[in-house]
Chains A and B, each alone.
Chain A
Amino acid sequence: MKFLRIKAIAKKEIIQIRRDPLSLAMAFMMPVILLFIFGYAITLDVNNLRTVVYDQDRSSLSRELVAEFRESGYFTVVGYADTHKDIDKYLDSGKAQVAVWIPNDFSKNINTGKNAELQVIVDGSDSNTATIALGYITAISELYSQRIMGGRITPLIDPRVRVWYNPELKSRNYIIPGLIAVIMAVIAALLTSLTIAREWERGTMEQLISTPVKTPELIIGKLLPYFFIGFVDVALSVIMAVFVFEVPLRGNIFLLAVLSSIFLFGGLSLGILISIAAKSQLVASQISMVVTFLPAFLLSGFMYAIANMPKPLQVITHIIPARYFVSILKGIFLKGNTFKFLIFETILLTFFGLMVFALANKKFKKRVV
């Protein structure tokens, strides 16, 4: 391998990238735009549940209960029903997701020490929201009953729960680091997916393969400028995560940079491999989108926990590099992981990168057919 040839190719690529400012702007804007869209769109937090109240009791106790709901911050009362029919209307039309019906004997039962019933109806068509809503409702009513009992009963078990790494349980904190991994998997492959195919399409490859240039020289020369762009993209994403989405970055930035580089190497090499195999820019960019976005989005564990997947799918997730990068980013961002906790992920990412690079070298033929 000769440094002079690698340099010549890298320099040529840089000139070509510079002469195409639109594509260059795209390369830098893409992570920012994607992170904005997905970062704000994907949230698993449930707030402001639209709630309709049917208070038949109309007592101070019932009003106090409604106030508890409202003040929790999870429920917004959007209306009051006067009949059962009204509740149906609110839920059917989607104006309300939760209906709280306080029967007319509610305060009477409490005051006479009987069991007071509270009917709650939740719109289960969004099952995730419904499950979380049910949890809130149970917690609020338990707290409320304990309070009006004046602590007459002490529970047998009193759990003191502390949440580590993400104490406010903000879903954004765990989605954004994973999202960076997904976005970078797509961008890395897209960046390089055009480079080889473009040369075949324009006919410049025929000239290049008639020279003594060696395949690794060609591939490394093409990787280098895009590696730089990819690295800037990662940096932009991290800056956005910290300053726009306020995700805590607890780990070492240097470690983050090194491990991101390893991931980028694999991702960019994958783009080159696709470009070599496809020989057409259109096909190459489409393949890159499909083979990176879908697996990274669905099977990397960035949102959907791998442990909850069926066994065969869990096995498949092991061959998806984004999976390891998701763990690395979540680990460094939220847990402040040091390298020794991320050795396994690093080894597999390195292995993946080298494999794809070797495959690209093998697949490229210095012949016209």
Chain B
Amino acid sequence: MRSEDIAVKIESLTKRFGDFVAVDNINLTVKRGEVFGFLGPNGAGKSTTIKMLCGLLLPTSGRGFVGGYDIMKESEEIKKTIGYMSQKFSLYDDLTVEENISFFSGIYRVSNSKKKERMEWVLEMSGLKDRKGAITKTLPGGFKQRLALGCAVLHELPIIFLDEPTSGVDPISRRNFWNLIYDMSKAGTTIFVTTHYMDEADYCDRLALIYRGKIIAEGTPNELRREHMKQNVLEIETDRFVEAMEILQQEGIEAAIFGNLLHAVVADARIDIPRVKRILESSNIRVARIEKIPPSLEDVFVTLIESA
């Protein structure tokens, strides 16, 4: 890969807070123009990594480059090329929508000729055209989130870092938000996004899964499904799914609840479908349906985390 095709490169990056190792010797490469998903449960080290990449936090050891700039020495250069949206809403609550946008155009020194156009663009993408005079505090979560994204990318920056951009946002707003991310990606922007919603993983071009500070898997969604899921996933429909899960777990079969269905991970579906059925029916649990399904990324991650 040519170096100009690389947006982010991390080599044995580590961050310690006292005795606690928040990020433990991780390596990553993000290509220019891709949507890179950084997944993991809360407290896994996602925000710490993203802060180090944005020049907000100094790593304890290792190396990292963002847009070709060294995160150790050139953090101010990095800040000129990135947009960052932090996990916590961090626009000015007491300013109006328009005032917030205008403030960040000033900070990013958007030229007077482009200022109006960018203002329109942010208002459009955030759906706040009719509410540009509203005090930001009064907006619903989804709108705030999109406004924050708009302000972070106002300057049409080549790389943007989004830290849990969809946490606490309703499913429709989340969908809209991802559409925005796709649009920016199509326009050539590199997007580095963290999330703990496993269902959002499929939206990304490539993924890394971080758990307890370590990267435990990396690849495209399909690669991850293929490589890390050699076993089969069975979907079981039953009205007593909680009991059923407990019984299967006692038998040493990995089982987890998905909505009101039960997923069980087995070595070979052909042999194990009758076996699982037998186990459950011997406990008087009626199985309405049992079949092999392609594993979702959530299945992959649950398996990976349980074996980590």
Contacts and interface: CB of A to CB of B under 8 A. Distances in A.
Contact of B89 (A4, A15, A203): A203
Interface residues of B, number: 34
Interface string B40-73: 0000000000010011111000000000000000
A45 interface: no
A85 B51 CA distance: 83
Contact of A367 (B56, B91, B94, B104): B56
Given A206-B90, A211-B107, A212-B79, A15 B58 contact: no
Most buried by A among B54, B82, B107: B107
Contacts of A367: 55-58, 75
B103 interface: yes
Most buried by B among A2, A212, A368: A212
B298 interface: no
Given A16-B94, A212-B79, A7 B106 contact: yes
Contacts of B103: 8-9, 11-12
Contacts of B109: 2, 4-5
Contacts of A5: 106-107, 109
A207 B91 contact: yes
Given A12-B92, A12-B99, A206 B106 contact: no
A277 interface: no
B103 to A, nearest CB: 5
Interface string A249-261: 0000000000000
B208 to A, nearest CB: 22
A206 B102 CA distance: 18
Given A4-B106, A5-B107, A5-B109, A210 B79 contact: yes
Nearest to B104: A211
A369 B22 CA distance: 14
Nearest to B51: A368
A366 B107 contact: no
A203 B107 CA distance: 17
A19 interface: yes
B5 interface: no
Contacts of B91: 204, 207
A369 B16 CA distance: 12
Interface in B25-53: 51
B272 to A, nearest CB: 49
B265 to A, nearest CB: 40
B90 A16 contact: no
Nearest to A210: B84
Interface in B132-167: 148, 151-152
Interface string A332-351: 00000000000000000000
A67 interface: no
Contact of A366 (B75, B90, B99): B75
Interface string A1-28: 0101101110110011001100000000
Nearest to B47: A368
A8 B86 contact: no
A368 B92 contact: no
Nearest to B148: A207
Contacts of A11: 103, 106
Contacts of B90: 202-207
B108 interface: yes
Nearest to B79: A212
Contacts of B226: none
Most buried by B among A4, A206, A211: A211
Contact of A210 (B58, B82, B99): B82
Contacts of A15: 94-95, 99
Nearest to B54: A210
B275 interface: no
B2 interface: no
Contact of A213 (B56, B93, B107): B107
A207 B153 CA distance: 12
B80 interface: yes
Contacts of A12: 92, 95, 99, 103
B246 interface: no
B114 interface: no
B74 interface: no
Interface in A203-226: 203-213
Given A212-B76, A366-B76, A367-B58, A207 B84 contact: yes
A211 B106 CA distance: 11
A209 B86 CA distance: 11
Nearest to B135: A19
Contacts of B104: 211
B143 to A, nearest CB: 17
A156 B58 CA distance: 83
Interface string B197-230: 0000000000000000000000000000000000
B158 to A, nearest CB: 14
A208 B152 CA distance: 10
A210 B58 CA distance: 13
A131 B89 CA distance: 65
Interface pairs A-B: 3 shortest CB-CB: A8-B106, A210-B84, A207-B90
Given A209-B56, A210-B82, 17 more contacts: A4-B106, A4-B109, A5-B109, A8-B105, A12-B99, A16-B92, A202-B90, A203-B86, A203-B90, A204-B91, A207-B148, A210-B54, A211-B107, A367-B58, A367-B75, A368-B56, A368-B57
13 contacts: A5-B109, A8-B105, A8-B106, A8-B107, A9-B107, A16-B95, A202-B90, A207-B84, A207-B152, A211-B104, A212-B108, A213-B107, A368-B51
